[in-house]
Amino acid sequence: MGLAYKAVTWNRQKKIYDIGILLLIAVYMLVFVVLTSVLHPEVPPPTLIIRSTGTLALLLLHIILVIGPLSRLDKRFLPLLYNRRHLGVIMFLVALVHGGFSILQFHAFGDLNPIVSVITSNTHYGNLMRFPFQSLGLVALILLFLMAATSHDFWLHNLGPRVWKSLHMMVYLAYALIIMHVMLGVVQLEDSPWLVGTLGLGMLLVVGLHLVSARNTFQLDQAVKSGDEQGFVYAGEIDEIEENRAKLMRFEDQSIAIFKYQGKVSAVDNACKHQNGPLSEGKIVDGCITCPWHGYQYLPESGASPPPFEERICTYHIKLIGSSIWVNPHPNSLGTLVEAATISPEV
Ligand code: HEM
Ligand code: FES
């Protein structure tokens, strides 16, 4: 793929996903505004916008953070993973409305530049209880902006997967800053005990799901038995894999996707060439391994994308002993043709 900028194209699945997100946002805003207006009629409209968009951005951020571990634990969540980047950009826009209105309301009408005012109007940086919590929101918003602005594939190719991934891992730093922003804000404004409670539950969910999914991955690593004399490693049983689906095998630093299709099994590198998407979570469509994230395709025996595409991934030698799958975890060079192992009809 070249480095030219290609406009984002929407397919049917992306449209359904985006409509779902917009509906969620509309329902949330409506419920928040109606409930607050009834329960707290004294809250002025600008504050209503600041609070509804702040809490909505926080909710969307939680959804973004749990999609990864959820889809590792249960494949039914994979459709949500498919376009998580759209959710990220929308979340940033909602947070921008919140930050923008806050700056307008509290910092726009003095002599100072409004952004300078956010950082310098409260200088109790050494005092936790009076800490300038808005500065934390500002730094988080800048991080969210960097991630949203580089979310397009153009930047992925320009920066390279490693730099891009590191940049986007900053979502966890942004999350920590936002937690502090909200907690310290609530302490100072002596407001919203329900917000602290809900936020605590949200944090438990995010941390808990990440821990459970990390434990599962670790157990998978441990489950791989030691290799045979030809360097093949036991990878599991044929029945564990559904037709046209894969099983993930980890061995030392290798992550290998083992696909079962049309009475055969093949093993390829788990990382998609596009954006390191987990191929083992994809399926075989039209005879090709199809990445669950954005649909890049590879032939299972050669790891090469069908023409006219030119991406290639590593393949691995594979054999069957009865119903047991054995894989040689030494990767072949990109696009090397390896004959699939045939499943005997007696198995
Ligand atoms: C320039 C950046 C930001 C500024 C100046 C800012 C400012 C504020 C202010 C003044 C409040 C108190 C509002 C009130 O209750 O009267 C607040 C609360 C809040 N902020 Fe921010 N914020 C910023 C960024 C963010 C970001 C990036 C997020 C999350 C994605 C966020 C989430 C929240 C939440 C959840 C609350 C609590 C809402 C409530 O009071 O009910 N903020 N922020
Ligand atoms: S990561 Fe985008 S298609 Fe695989």
pLDDT in tens, 174-183: 999 999 999 9
Tokens read off for 170:
């900053």
Tokens read off for 244:
């046209």
Query: What class, spelled out in words, does domain 233-342 have in CATH?
Result: mainly beta
User: CATH 2.102.10.10 spans which residues of the chain?
Assistant: 233-342
Distance of CA 277 from the midpoint of ligand 2 (Å): 5
CA–chain centroid gap for 133, Å, is 27
CA distances (Å), 179 to each of 12, 76, 134, 136, 150, in order? 35, 29, 12, 9, 24
Q: What are phi and psi of 19, to 5 degrees?
A: -65, -40
CATH number of this structure's domain 12-220: 1.20.120
End-to-end, the C-alpha distance of the chain in Å comes to 42
List residues bridging with 320 in a β-sheet.
325
User: CATH 1.20.120 spans which residues of the chain?
Assistant: 12-220
Give the C-alpha separation, 115 to 120, whole Å.
9
pTM of the model: 0.72
Q: What is the pLDDT of residues 182-215, one digit of tens each?
A: 999 887 776 677 888 899 999 999 999 999 988 8
Distance of CA 100 from the midpoint of ligand 1 (Å): 10
Instruction: Indicate the top mutation candidate among 106, 146, 182, 195 to test ligand 1's pocket, ranked by most ligand atoms within 8 A of CB.
Output: 182
CA-closest residue to ligand 2 atom 3: 294
CB 270 within 8 A of CB 278: yes
Q: Nearest ligand, CA of residue 121?
A: 1
CA distances (Å), 322 to each of 55, 239, 326, 341, 347, in order? 56, 11, 10, 11, 6
pLDDT score of 221: 62
Beta carbon of 179 within 6 Å of any ligand 1 atom: no
pLDDT score of 143: 98
Tokens read off for 307:
């023409």
Question: To which H or E segment does residue 250 belong?
Answer: strand 245-251
Tokens read off for 166:
């590191």
Distance of CA 89 from the midpoint of ligand 1 (Å): 18
Q: pLDDT 10s per residue in the chain (347 long)?
A: 445 555 555 667 778 888 999 999 999 999 999 999 999 999 999 999 999 999 999 999 999 999 989 987 887 787 787 678 889 999 999 999 999 999 999 998 888 899 999 999 888 888 888 889 999 999 999 999 999 999 887 887 788 777 888 899 999 999 999 999 999 988 777 667 788 889 999 999 999 999 998 888 777 666 555 556 678 888 888 988 999 999 999 888 889 999 999 999 999 999 999 988 999 999 999 999 999 988 999 999 999 999 999 999 999 999 998 888 999 999 999 999 999 999 877 65
